[in-house]
Chains A and B, each alone.
Chain A
Amino acid sequence: KNQVEQSPQSLIILEGKNCTLQCNYTVSPFSNLRWYKQDTGRGPVSLTIMTFSENTKSNGRYTATLDADTKQSSLHITASQLSDSASYICVVKRNNAGNMLTFGGGTRLMVKP
């Protein structure tokens, strides 16, 4: 079954600290993996998209890694800010699956002052 599992479900950190969110997937065959940020009451916004050949991709203070062999990805947030408080969703696209994306349940991050 094609699944995307994220951990932890929720996380609280202090402003200025770093954190790492995890994503494990069983989606196959793999096409690409993306991380989205979803603020409360808003739609998801794309942070990064990585294909099979990309191991690391950065977007400002966000760095995503991908290990396609172990089917794992992580999203590292550096020097967290209060505005980083949001849900972070890992999404995997299966190759030859048209427009079907498989979404993880998300990690809810709260950054406290």
Chain B
Amino acid sequence: DAGITQSPRHKVTETGTPVTLRCHQTENHRYMYWYRQDPGHGLRLIHYSYGVKDTDKGEVSDGYSVSRSKTEDFLLTLESATSSQTSVYFCAISETGEGYEQYFGPGTRLTVT
């Protein structure tokens, strides 16, 4: 998985609780991304980062926030988890801004009950 780890790999949480997912890379790539994958939908971009402290929204950013204080770490936070946020979350990295080649992490399966 191209030097990308995600933690936790599985999590079950209750509606209304905060949740933070972590993505860690050892490739020193500038760009990092958070996606969610749901049945019947392709992967959808939540947020991405183009450098330390530089982030931008994707197409499904409502209810999510991100932070990147170090090149290697990109955090995704659900401030108050809802059942609609039950999904598999993938982190990806790329060296260039054009996203020419994105490398994906192993994913985190999140269940909100």
- A residues within 8 Å of B by Cβ? 4, 31-32, 41-46, 49, 89, 91, 93, 98-106
Contact = CB atoms under 8 A, between A and B. Distances in A.
B99 A46 contact: no
Contacts, number: 57
Contacts of A43: 1, 4, 90, 92, 104-107
Interface residues of B, number: 28
Given A43-B90, A93-B99, A101 B104 contact: no
B99 A105 contact: no
A103 B107 contact: no
Question: What's the dominant secondary structure at chain B's contact region?
Answer: loop
Nearest to B99: A99
B101 interface: yes
Given A4-B42, A89-B43, A46 B101 contact: yes
B41 interface: yes
Of all A-B residue pairs in the complex, the 8 with the closest CB atoms, nearest first, are A103-B42, A43-B104, A103-B43, A99-B99, A44-B104, A105-B42, A43-B105, A104-B42
A28 to B, nearest CB: 17
Contacts of B43: 44, 89, 101, 103
Contact of B107 (A4, A42, A104, A106): A42
